[in-house]
Amino acid sequence: MPNQNNISFDSRPKRPIHSRRRPKRRGAMLVLILVMLVGFLATVAFSVDIAHMHLSRTELRSATDAASQAASQELARSFDPSLAIAKGQEIAGLNRVNGEFFQLDASDFEFGRSEIDESGRFVFQNARTPLNTVRVTGRRTTGSASGAIPLLFGNVLGFSTFEPQVTAAATYIERDVVLVVDRSGSMKGSKFQDLQTAIAVFISTLDTTPVEEEVGLASYSQFASEDVQLTSNLSAVSDGLARLATNGRTSISRGMEAGAQIMDSGRHQDYVERTMIVMTDGLHNEGPEPSAVATRLAADRVQIHTITFGSGADQTRMRNIAQIGGGRHFHALSASELVEAYREIALTLGTVITE
């Protein structure tokens, strides 16, 4: 009879039981958190200094721009570089950079000329005349008048100061313009009226440009006259033209010489652009050869534009005069074309350089 109290045993081998202990990671996590916190603080400090540097550079740019513009305007007014420097320093001192009033040394100012190169970019040349540009170097560097800019957390990153430097060039154009017009007998009647209309458009166009011009008027038949000396009162030129009478032969060269006398009585050539605009409706038949006068004027840095009006004008000679004088020649067959010629020249005179 089977024993019902028999107990069955599992004969499969048993796996040993090992005690499982969790590693102690709390200390390692604290170290990691500390390292990350230091990195975070360093990042914050770096970001604060970067923002500080960016703001300081922006303030330096604004102060330097203002100083160069003020110096340029003063030079245009007084033709005195020392006064221009003083004005630039004064305006710079009204601006704050990093919370301090900005200071410039006299050596931070350069006076020269900006001209366009073959690529269409304006290039500054120090000390070249006639002066039309003041370039200012604004510095917050060690040894500059205002010194370097201290950083808030720079020592953490291995440097303690920021030394920005920027340049700004402000260009003005002052121009003396002498109009040389034909009042010979062939200009009598409607032609001279057309000339008056064209000169009125020329003057009104100059009034729309940002350039400061002084304009004079010379006229010629077989003899020439200095009718209006250089003036910023441009209506005086229209009034002077209206008083002229037409008669006689044609001496273009004597008209140019009278224009040169007016030009020589104007502002110093080191500070202004000088332009002569010579107009005729006929053929030169009195006095010296005009090209010889043009050569002398060009050597004296006077730019010459020429305008011929009507079918009987000597285009070949006048085109040659413009070429000698580094200017342009315009030919007008009608009154409207004469107006456009003077308007186009006026707009060319109004070019302003910025850098």
Residue 173: predicted pLDDT:
76
User: Count H helices, E strands: the chain?
Assistant: 9, 14
- Please tell me the CATH code under which domain 174-349 is placed: 3.40.50.410
Question: Band of the pLDDT at 265, cuts 50, 70, 90?
Answer: very high
Is the confidence at residue 7, as pLDDT, over 60?
no
- Tell me the range of 30-39, 69-78, 264-273, 290-299 where mean pLDDT is highest: 290-299
The domains of the chain are located at: 32-171, 174-349
Q: Do 215 and 179 touch, CB atoms closer than 8 A?
A: yes
Residue 55, pLDDT > 60, answer yes
**Per-residue pLDDT at 79:** 86
- pLDDT higher for 329 or 4? 329
d(CA 94, CA 37): 42
Q: Is residue 41 pLDDT above 70, yes or no? A: no
Q: Categorize the per-residue pLDDT at 15 as very low, low, confident or very high, splitting at 50, 70 and 90.
A: low
Residue 117: is its pLDDT beyond 90?
Answer: no
The pLDDT value recorded for residue 197 is 97
Give pTM, 2 decimals.
0.65
Tens-digit pLDDT profile for residues 170-191: 887 778 999 999 999 999 999 9
| pLDDT higher than threshold 90 for residue 340 | yes
Among residues 204, 198, 165, 160, the alpha carbon closest in space to that of 181 is found at 198
Task: Tally Cβ neighbours within 10 Å of residue 79.
Answer: 16
Q: What is the pLDDT of residue 272?
A: 85
Say how far apart CA 245 and CA 181 lie, in whole Å: 12
Distance CA 215, CA 238 (A): 11
Could you report the per-residue pLDDT of 220-264, keeping only the tens digit for each? Answer: 999 999 999 999 999 999 999 999 999 999 999 999 999 999 999
**Structural contact between residues 97 and 82, judged by C-beta atoms closer than 8 angstroms:** no
Phi first, then psi: give them for residue 14, nearest 5 degrees.
-90, 140
